[in-house]
Amino acid sequence: MLRISYGLARASLSSWPSLKPRSGPALCGPKSRALWGIRSSSAAAYTTSSSSGGKLLFRQLFEEESYTYTYLLADVSHPDKPAVLIDPVDKTAERDLSLVKELGLKLIYAMNTHVHADHVTGTGLIKMKVPGVKSVISRASNSRADHFIEAGDKICFGDLFLEVRATPGHTLGCVTYVSGDRPGQPQPRMAFTGDALLIRGCGRTDFQGGNSLQLYHSVHSQILTLPKDTLVYPGHDYRGFSVSTVGEEMLYNPRLTKDEETFKKIMENLNLPYPKMIDVAVPANMVCGLQDLSSEAVGAASN
């Protein structure tokens, strides 16, 4: 059983942990593979109630240059109000942290669904500005982070948790975070799909180890098998949509409703331009969003 305890050690910005997990208390139950016990701080505005009275505070945030969605989730029924950010962007990190502070939350994890090619992640800046925040990414991404996750792991924040599902195909290390299916977890379930499944679309598969057939199988086996009312929150949207459902995508997604061979042909003939940020974003994101973790760079970035 992998157990990681928040607060055991706050590593300096220039030092990164080994791949070996730390031991500590588990709050998600005895059968979980990754059980990270978190305690964290106050207040709420919009909340979603679960069947057992636990409350999820949820915000969907947008970065307009890369059309990226960042998601803030917190357990506001927990005394410490622990929170997580999914797919933060460097350019909006200050905005996100201001919101966390205004809502009286304590951020414990800054998480990525994959190594992004179209923007620099905000996790590095967030770690500098908020001591104790830990970065999270899949082990298969081969990038740096404080915690490395795999399929079946559970990321706990207070009494809520996100299940990790491996959904490679857009990149080798893509994961989808899905809200829990146990009593006390929010309903309907929520799937944060990154670039694997977009609203009426999906991520491209022509770089970073992408594979169209792998993506097809990932989405069909790991996302479209969820209950049809599961809310789909993608990593990007370019047409003004903010949320879909598994049932909608099963019916109306113009790519993923096709058979495998047709899907493969569609993906091979997208003829998309080379991402303008890829040469900057990928190297930076391989080191948690900071290409140079020297003391000079840290000082400049935090000013």
Write the pLDDT tens digit of every residue in 24-69. 222 344 334 433 333 222 233 334 444 344 599 999 999 999 999 9
Angle ∠(69,227,147) on CA atoms, nearest 5: 50
Residue 42 lies in a domain: no
Q: Are 57 and 45 in contact (CB under 8 A)?
A: yes
Q: How far is CA 225 from CA 4, 149, 250, in A?
A: 29, 21, 10
- pLDDT score at 54: 54
Collapse the DSSP code of 191 into the 3-class scheme (helix H, G, I; strand E, B; otherwise coil) and give the result.
strand
Which pair of structure tokens corresponds to residue 20?
A: 């070996």
Averaged pLDDT, 208-236: 97
115 C-beta neighbours (distance < 10 Å), count: 23
Residue 36 lies in a domain: no
Question: pLDDT tier at 118 (50, 70, 90 boundaries)?
Answer: confident
Residue 49: which residues within 8 A CB-CB, separation 6 or more?
Answer: 55, 186
Question: pLDDT tier at 76 (50, 70, 90 boundaries)?
Answer: very high
Looking at per-residue pLDDT, the higher value among 121 and 21 belongs to: 121
Q: Kindly report the average pLDDT of the chain as a whole number.
A: 82
The type of residue at 251 is L
Averaged pLDDT, 172-194: 96
Q: Which of 16-25, 95-104, 145-154 has the lowest mean pLDDT?
A: 16-25
Q: How far is CA 119 from CA 3, 84, 135, 170, 207, in A?
A: 31, 19, 17, 15, 15
Question: pLDDT tier at 117 (50, 70, 90 boundaries)?
Answer: confident
Which pair of structure tokens corresponds to residue 272?
A: 């998309």
Question: Euclidean distance between the first and final Cα of the chain, in Å?
Answer: 40
Alpha helices by DSSP H, listed for the chain, are 93-102, 123-129, 212-218, 246-252, 260-268, 278-285, 295-302
Strand partners, 44: none
Kind of pairing between the strands at 82-86 and 68-75: antiparallel
Residue 163 lies in a domain: yes
- pLDDT score at 288: 83
Residue 66: which residues within 8 A CB-CB, separation 6 or more?
Answer: 89, 118, 119, 236, 277
Here the CATH number for the domain that contains residue 214 is 3.60.15.10
Q: Are 136 and 149 in contact (CB under 8 A)?
A: yes
Which pair of structure tokens corresponds to residue 179?
A: 């809200």
Residue 15 lies in a domain: no
pLDDT tens-digit readout, 83-113 = 999 999 999 999 999 999 999 999 999 999 9
- pLDDT score at 3: 34
- Domain range spanning residue 87? 4-9+56-302
DSSP strand E in 128-273: where? Answer: 134-138, 147-149, 154-157, 160-166, 175-179, 190-194, 231-234, 244-245
Residue 41 lies in a domain: no
19 C-beta neighbours (distance < 10 Å), count: 8
Residue 215 lies in a domain: yes
Domain count, the chain: 1
Residue 249 lies in a domain: yes
Residue 44 lies in a domain: no
